[in-house]
Each structure stands twice: as C-alpha cells, then as structure tokens.
Structure 1
Amino acid sequence: MKKVLFMIPTLKGGGAEKILIDLLQQFDLNEWSVNLLVLFKNNVYQDQIPSGVTLRQSHISQFRGNIHAMKLTTPQQLYRLLVKTDYDTVISFLEGPTTRIVAGCLNPNTRLINWVHNEFHELSKLGSSYRSIEELQQTYQRFDQTVFVSQTARQALLSLIDLPEEKTKVLYNPLDMKQVLKHVAVDKKIPLTTEQPIKLITIGRLSYQKGYDRLLPIMAKLIHEDGLRVTLDILGVGENLNKLKKQVLNLDLAATVNFLGFVKQPYTHLAQADMFVCSSRYEGYSTVVTEATLLGLPVVTTDCSGMSEILQDTGVITANQEEALYRGLKKVLSDRKLLAELRIKAQQRGQQLSNQDNAIEIINFLREVSS
C-alpha cells in the first residue's frame, strides 16, 4: 500500500482547499494510505474530509507574524517536528509555508511534490515564507516534481525559477462532477425583457486577489449611469468583508448586491444565476469558473491564468483592468440575445469539460511518481 501525505496551510474555504477535498474523495483506500496534515487551525472544510483519510493537525494558531516566527527554524527541523514519520510521497498542496517545510524532508526514498495554484510574475510574491529569495529558489529545486494547475501558471514560474522541464507537470484541477452536474439547468432561459433584472454571481474569498473592490464600482456604474437592471450575489468570506460592505453602502448598492457568506455547496446558487463574473487580479486555474461552465453559465472574467484553457472561445475574457471589465460586462448585459448565445456556448463547453476525468490523471501521476 502506497503511503501519501498531503500538507496544506489551512482548510479555511479557498479554492485550493476545495480542490484537495474533491481529490481526496477519489482515492482507492485499498491501494493508498492517505494522510492529510493541516498546518494552521482554521478549517471550514474539515467535516468534508472523506472517512478513511487520516487527518493530522499541528495545532499551530494562525496569527500575524507566525510565518516570520517559523522562518527562525530550518525546514529540516520543521519537517521533523511536524511530519515525524516516513511516507512514500509527501505533497505540499499549496505554495507557502508548507512548501518550505516539505522541502526539509531528508529521506532519499520519499518523493516530494510541490503543487502551484497561482500565477506568479515576481518572486517577492512567493517570498514571505522564506528567509531570502535564494532560499526560495533552493526550496523549489528540492522537489522531484512541481505540478502546475495551468499552462500559464507553469510558464510564469519557469520564467523566474530554473526548473528542469522533466520535473514539471501541468494537471488540471479535479472536480466532483456528479455533485456539480446534478444542478445543471438545461432549460433555463435568459430574461429577455429589460424589466427583469439579470442575476450575476461571483464566488471567492473576500480578499484583494479576487478584485471585488473594483467590481463594486463597476456595478454602480452599470446600474446608476447606464440604467441596467442587474443584481449581484457574492458568496464567500474573508478579511475584506467589512470594507466591501461599507463600499456597497457608499455606492448605493444595498438593494442590488448581496453578501451570502460561505456556502459549502454553491451549485444551486450558480444554477439559478444568469451569468458568472470573475474580477480576480490573479488566479491559477479557477475552480468556480470551471463549475459555472459545467453548469452552462456564461462567464465574463478578467484575463487570469487558466481562463483561456477553461473557457476557450465560450466566454468573455477582458484585460485585467477595471475599465476593461466594465466594458465587457456592459457589452453582454446590454444585449440579452448575446447573453443567451453565450449560454448555449457555455453549455457546449460544459459538456466537453464533463467528459474529462482530471482526478484519474492526477492519481495515475502520483502512482507513477510513488513507484
């Protein structure tokens, strides 16, 4: 039986955390001993960990400055302190402190894998968990394989860190297809009269990365200046909630923008919406955009890593700027026939995506690495 350990900073409700939960459900526990080590205590998804997966928690509290404190200890010391036992394969499933810790494994028989979920164009964006940029580069070179969730994420990091091509792999995120596809609304019609508001939805952590601080002024412009009838549901939690709520009040959007909090299974909300909007400043390979497309939902998004790979020619991808996203949304929202056409294209692309089994590809890759 192959013994694998996944390590992740938290299970606090982000995209990578949800992807990991979906992936863990796909392992054959007659073949694999699957273990999960969560570094910090903040675990929204803990009750969704499949039975049979051994959960280990370090019980380190997440507080301002603890990443800096961890840098006082070497990766080797942290690995011995936290991991303690031997595994065939150890995986850091999200870039950050767990990457540094896993690189501290000194067992030559253990395969080390680093999963990169975001697109990075500056090493400083990755550097907060490391003593120096030099240590960061040495850490990434310690891994037997580095997995990227999109081609663009791979290209970006390889422009910054010299990794052998044979030690890199692109593997798209797995999804619980059955759970998503139960909510497909094949016969849903786009409201064609201007009296009916178009219902937008977006899902993500309420953080700088997701760009909701620039989506809200766009909503105000569409509603108050352009006279468009549109509403927006925002699903997610995060550190910017209070700031965003104040922004909603200041922009006179209280009647049209709704904060729905964290929703474990957002598929019903997605299926009931008319369009998905992504305002992110950066992504890796967006789980929620993939889920929206699987459900046949038209997508308007900023140009982030993985978007062209997910959508191909079925959605609207704008430049990653507030004005460009505004123009893209206005174009679609002003032409309801165009919105209906985009739904048909999204349904067709959703059918293609539903035939992919990314989880099997990932497990086959892990089987090969572990052998």
Structure 2
Amino acid sequence: MKILRLSTYLDFGGVETRLATISHVQDENEWVFICMNREGKAAKIIRENHKKLINVKVKPSIYSFRTFWSIYQTIKKEKPDVIHTSGAEANFHGILAAKLAGVSRIIGEEIGTPNHSKKAQLIFSFVYRFADFVVGNSRAVLEVVHQVDKVPKRKLVQIDNPILFKDLSAYVRNKPLDEFQMLMISRLEPVKNIEGMINVLSQLKNKTDLNLRLIIAGSGQSESALKQQVKDLDMENQVTFLGFINDPYPYLVNADLYILNSHSEGFSNSLVEAMYSKTPSLSTAVGAAPEIIEDGISGFLTPANDEEALCEKLKAIIALPKEKLQEIGWVGHEKIVKNFSLGNHINELMKIYTYS
C-alpha cells in the first residue's frame, strides 16, 4: 500500500515532529511525505530514515489555484492508495485534489483545536464531505470539528500522537540540590501563555526557601516581549531562555516540574515527552491534557487563564515531599509507555487506511 502524508511544512512543530516520528516505521507499506513549503528538522529526519520526501514549493494559501494545481499534479503522479492530510492548507488542497485524482482512501486531520471564522467553517464543512475520515488527537479537538465544521461523528476518529521511546539511562541529573527547576518547552507564541507563568513566578520567588528557577526552551514571535518582561520584573536570575533545542531530554531529566500553561492546545508532544522522562508535569486543563493526566496521580492540572489558580497549584506542588513527586513522575511515565507508542499509533492508522 502506498501512503501519502501531506502537510503544510516539514520544519519544526507538533505535526512536523509527529510526521518525523512516523517516518521511523519499518513495514511493507511505501510512505511518501509531501510538504507544500519549508523544510527543516522534520524533513532531515524523514530523509535520514530513507523515506521519500517531496517539497512542492508552493504558497501555502487556501486561495491559490496554482497551489491546488501543483498538489493535484503531485498526487496524480504518485498514485497513492491512501492520502492523509494534516493542517488547514494541506486539508483544503489535499482532500479536494485527492478526490479529483481518484484516490480511494482520503483522510483529513485537524492538528489542533480549530478556531475557524464563519467563512472557514463553510469551506471546511464542504471540504470534509470528501474525506472518508477526519482524525484528531483528542476528544476536545473532535468535538469542535463536529460542532463547528459539521462533520458527522461516524467520520471522526481519535488517534493519539506517538513518541519514540528513547533510552534515558544516558541522561544524568545534575543540578543544585536547593534549586526547584521548572521547565517550559514550546513555541514562544501568545497562545502558550508563558507570560502568565512568568507573572506567577514573580509572585512566588520570595514565598519559598527554595531557589526557584524557570527554564524556557523554544523560539517564536513572543521571545523579545518575554525577555523584556523578565527584565522589567527583575527576574533575570530566575529565568533562563535556551532558544530552540533539538533534544529536550537533558533538560527534562534535570527538571523538578514541567509546565504547559497554554490558553488552548490540541495535543502537546512536549507534555508527553516530559511525562515519558518521569518529570512531574503540570498542564492547563485544555485539549488532550485532561485525557492524559489524572490530577495528583499521573501529573497536575490547573484551569487555563487563571494566574491565581496556577500560583496556588504551584505552591502546593513545591510543598510536596520529593518522594511524592517522584511517584507521580513514575505513574505518568507508565501511562505514556502504555498508550503512546509508535506501534499503537500505526495500528490505529491502519484501521482507517484499510477500512472497508
């Protein structure tokens, strides 16, 4: 079976990381990865795994006929048995072009909680009519697709994101004993609400005997504003910016707590990686997080957009005995190993790729 995976980009980010992970699969199928534009880390991994990659090099715009025609010609040339598109532009052009090209199995995928305008709702309600299934990585995402884009529930399929299970034995914990180290890994964008976490840290820094430190890994449009905020709050000794990192695990194994403070989220790969690393993890109760974390058992949950609640939650976590935090980290790790393997992900994909 020839499977074509179409995405807008193959540089970095959640969906790009997932596609790079999928490229590690070794089976009897022919996997072809196509991006509309912009290569990077994900494309490099896909090529290293000896999978075919095509960069169509077109403008990723829904309103470009040239983009549609280029995608159509690429699909027609490749003659896939299955096409699976991920992301708004890829879904629009890929689903319609695949239908025109006569592809027998068409899968669309929402990569986060859609926030479509009225016009976009009409567009995607129409486009998804031509998909056999629409995939989402959480119940929350699929419920919005059902309500907003009017996709019938019989077409909606939840498939959890996979991660590669790395050998963590090579990563050594090495940090000051009196330091409580918190880690955030994400794109530095407003939706991640990193500024909210910085505000809370400024409230907490004089309320504990521990040396609180926040490490922020990632890059994005909010980077300059976040650094200025840290400077304005006189917290440059408490907050460190790492920039983009290739390997999160050296930082995760040293962290006492991983934090995801997003306003909204689909499925966070970084959260799953943190839990896999046995790092106790705190997330806002958005997207897939409440499906992954049982509060106080396998991690911690806090309401979104509520700095007071986040502050109180952090005070409670910091006060927990070290042994309790380690226990929560282990329970989270075991849940990830059980539910989020690449093998599980591929098995779930094959159910819809071969459904008859």
Same fold, TM-score > 0.5, yes or no: yes
Q: Against the structure 1 CA distance between its residues 255 and 354, is the aligned structure 2 distance closer, same or farther, given a 3 Å change threshold? A: same
Q: Against the structure 1 CA distance between its residues 299 and 197, is the aligned structure 2 distance closer, same or farther, given a 3 Å change threshold? A: same
- Candidates 13, 30, 35, aligned match of 2:32: 35
1:129-167 CA distances to partner (integer Å, 9 max, x unpaired)?
xx6431121112221111111122222321223223232
1:258-304 CA distances to partner (integer Å, 9 max, x unpaired)?
11111111111101111111111111122111111122111122111
The residue aligned with 1:348 is 331
- Cα distance in 2, alignment partners of residues 197 and 16 from structure 1: 34
**Which stretches of structure 1, 4 residues or more, deviate above 6 A after TM superposition?**
188-191
1:78 CA displacement: 4.9
The residue aligned with 2:252 is 270
- Candidates 107, 112, 135, aligned match of 1:118: 112
The residue aligned with 1:7 is 6
Residues 1:323 and 2:308 aligned together: yes
Q: Within 5 Å, which residues of 2 pair with 1:71-90?
A: 71-73=63-65, 77-85=69-77, 86-90=79-83
Residues 1:156 and 2:144 aligned together: yes
The residue aligned with 1:21 is 20
- Taking structure 2 as the reference length, the TM-score comes to 0.88
AA partner of residue 108 (structure 1):
G
Query: Please, what is the CA RMSD of the aligned residues?
Result: 2.6
* Secondary structure of the corresponding residue to residue 362 of structure 1: helix
1:362 CA displacement: 3.2
* Secondary structure of the corresponding residue to residue 320 of structure 1: coil
* Secondary structure of the corresponding residue to residue 26 of structure 1: coil
- Cα distance in 2, alignment partners of residues 169 and 271 from structure 1: 34
Q: Against the structure 1 CA distance between its residues 217 and 98, is the aligned structure 2 distance closer, same or farther, given a 3 Å change threshold? A: same
The residue aligned with 1:247 is 229
- Candidates 362, 366, 371, aligned match of 2:345: 362
The residue aligned with 2:274 is 292
Q: Within 5 Å, which residues of 2 pair with 1:327-342?
A: 327-333=312-318, 335-337=319-321, 340-342=323-325
- Cα distance in 2, alignment partners of residues 160 and 180 from structure 1: 41
- Cα distance in 1, alignment partners of residues 243 and 298 from structure 2: 29
The residue aligned with 1:53 is 51
The residue aligned with 2:91 is 99
AA partner of residue 362 (structure 1):
H
Unaligned runs of 5+ residues in structure 2 are none
Structure 1, 351-360 or 244-253: larger mean CA deviation: 351-360
Contact 2:159 2:349 in 1 (8 A): no
The residue aligned with 2:298 is 314
AA partner of residue 259 (structure 1):
F
AA partner of residue 302 (structure 1):
T
- Cα distance in 2, alignment partners of residues 189 and 244 from structure 1: 27
Matched pairs, number:
347
* Secondary structure of the corresponding residue to residue 246 of structure 1: helix
Q: Against the structure 1 CA distance between its residues 269 and 209, is the aligned structure 2 distance closer, same or farther, given a 3 Å change threshold? A: same
Contact 1:235 1:262 in 2 (8 A): yes
- Taking structure 1 as the reference length, the TM-score comes to 0.85
Q: Against the structure 1 CA distance between its residues 184 and 283, is the aligned structure 2 distance closer, same or farther, given a 3 Å change threshold? A: farther
Q: Against the structure 1 CA distance between its residues 147 and 181, is the aligned structure 2 distance closer, same or farther, given a 3 Å change threshold? A: farther
Contact 1:233 1:258 in 2 (8 A): yes
Contact 2:164 2:341 in 1 (8 A): no
Residues 1:215 and 2:214 aligned together: no
* Secondary structure of the corresponding residue to residue 292 of structure 1: helix
1:42 CA displacement: 4.5
AA partner of residue 188 (structure 2):
L
* Secondary structure of the corresponding residue to residue 157 of structure 2: strand
* Secondary structure of the corresponding residue to residue 172 of structure 1: coil
- Cα distance in 2, alignment partners of residues 189 and 51 from structure 1: 33
The residue aligned with 1:280 is 262
- Cα distance in 1, alignment partners of residues 216 and 93 from structure 2: 34
- Cα distance in 2, alignment partners of residues 156 and 280 from structure 1: 18
The residue aligned with 1:233 is 215
The residue aligned with 1:137 is 125
* Secondary structure of the corresponding residue to residue 159 of structure 1: helix
